[in-house]
Amino acid sequence: MASSSNNYDDESIDEYLDHQEYVHRLRTTARGNQFKEKRDFIERNWEEGHIRLWNDYFSEEAIFPDYLFRRRFRMNKSLFMKIIDRLNNEVRYFRQKKDAPGRPCLFGLQKCTSAIRLLAYGTAADSVDEYLRIGATTARNCLENFVDAIINLFGDEYLRRPTPEDLQRLLDYGEYREFPGMVGSIDCMHWEWKNCPTAWKGQYSRGSDKPTIVLEAVASYDLWIWHAFFGPPCTLNDINVFDRSPVFDDIIQGKAPQVKFSVNRREYDLANYLTNEKQEAARKDVERAFGVLQSRFAIIKNPALFWDKAKIGKIMRACIILHNMIVEDERDGYTLSNVSEFHHGEGSGSAIVDLAYETDTSNLENNMFARTKLRDRRQHEKLKADLIEHIWQKFGHY
């Protein structure tokens, strides 16, 4: 009986071990299949994508004409090639390299086109895969590196404060439109943040509305955006946003050129921005700028898909810089009247920019004096009344 019992035990043990080996094989196979699915390699044949892109838009006998290039790239071909040249020469990421086996990698032209398409159409990162043969992760990296490069290479030139010459031209055109001392219009725009972190939604939402981030901007008659302040939550009203904004920092710190102009026989020494004056057509400049910016780059019209607020801010800044580059390239097509006489600061001369800067406000007393002067409500009411009287004298008889 003992021997029979031992044989039974041995058979049971063998069956148990066979079962365990079978389970182990199943688990190993499952893990292998799972690993294979995650690491599945797709031969995208990116060379074919580059050849197609080159033949479609950049060869001497391109398939698509220039007007379709501008429609799909949001800018003229000459401007796009200027950007490509700078990025290829000065940014390592956009230079063509070789991978480990020595095979050439993506061209800078493909990477820049991928980034522009994502900015222009606001679609998912893998939307360029079928045409450019670029995967979603690579396309996202192209966008982030492109945005950084645009800010670093072109930001100082195309998102700058007005120079004295720019300021004189803006003042002259403001005088031409019967708004003496006006250098632009200012307002706020909201960008919905779809993937706002749950802990922040109360801060970035107003009531039952969706979370949004505020852009404050100053735009001139030709849609050039001179100032952009992005990041405040939508729970702040415009006055609170202006209070946080650096738009008046140069004046407070004594770094702004002096401006002198006359309205209704009264002298003023601070330039002004037009805000929510609903009855005045000049107020539409900044609204038009927002509309053109959103229609040109749908990524800032559609809800933001990034989680990182810093990346969202870089995208907004890069889109504004590109917008200003396009405005400079196509400036004559954006104005509603002939302003060629103002392009070099030639105007009526009633508003004058002094190249000498204001008094140094490095100490606290002068700084507080400049801030108090800037916030003087009585002076603001006087200017409004003088502008109303000025416009009435010009157009009241119509």
CB 272 within 8 A of CB 182: yes
Q: What is the mean pLDDT of the chain?
A: 81
Percentage of the chain beyond pLDDT 90 is: 38
The tens digit of pLDDT for each residue in 316-332 reads 999 999 999 999 999 87
pLDDT category of residue 27 using cuts at 50, 70 and 90: low
Higher pLDDT, 24 or 96: 96
Show me where the domains of the chain are located.
46-157, 164-395
Q: What is the mean pLDDT of the segment spanning 389-396?
A: 76
Q: What is the mean pLDDT of the segment spanning 345-354?
A: 54
- Of 69, 75, 37, 40, the closest CA to residue 56 belongs to 69
CA gap 92, 283 in Å, rounded: 43
HSE (side-chain half, CA atoms, 13 Å) at 130: 2
pLDDT at 357 over 60: no
* Number of Cβ atoms within 10 Å of the Cβ of 100: 5
Higher pLDDT, 100 or 339: 100
What pLDDT is stored for residue 398 in this prediction? 58
What pLDDT is stored for residue 189 in this prediction? 92
What pLDDT is stored for residue 3 in this prediction? 45
CA gap 349, 371 in Å, rounded: 28
Highest mean pLDDT among 44-53, 137-146, 341-350, 354-363: 137-146
Q: What is the mean pLDDT of the segment spanning 131-143?
A: 91
Point out which residues pair with 274 in neighbouring strands: 185
Q: Which residues contact 177 (CB under 8 A, 6 or more apart)?
A: 221, 282
What pLDDT is stored for residue 16 in this prediction? 56
The tens digit of pLDDT for each residue in 181-227 reads 888 888 999 999 999 998 998 889 987 789 999 999 999 988 999 99
HSE (side-chain half, CA atoms, 13 Å) at 182: 26
**Strands 257-263 and 266-268, how do they pair?**
antiparallel
Point out which residues pair with 227 in neighbouring strands: 218
E strand segments, the chain: 182-192, 212-219, 225-233, 257-263, 266-268, 272-274, 352-357
What pLDDT is stored for residue 174 in this prediction? 84
CA gap 177, 166 in Å, rounded: 17
- Give this prediction's pTM: 0.81
What pLDDT is stored for residue 32 in this prediction? 54
The tens digit of pLDDT for each residue in 258-309 reads 788 888 888 888 888 888 665 555 568 889 999 999 999 999 999 998 889 9
DSSP 181-210: TEEEEEEEEEEEBTT--GGGHHHH--TTSP
* The two three-digit tokens of residue 55, written as one number: 């033949």
pLDDT category of residue 36 using cuts at 50, 70 and 90: very low
Q: What is the mean pLDDT of the segment spanning 245-257?
A: 77
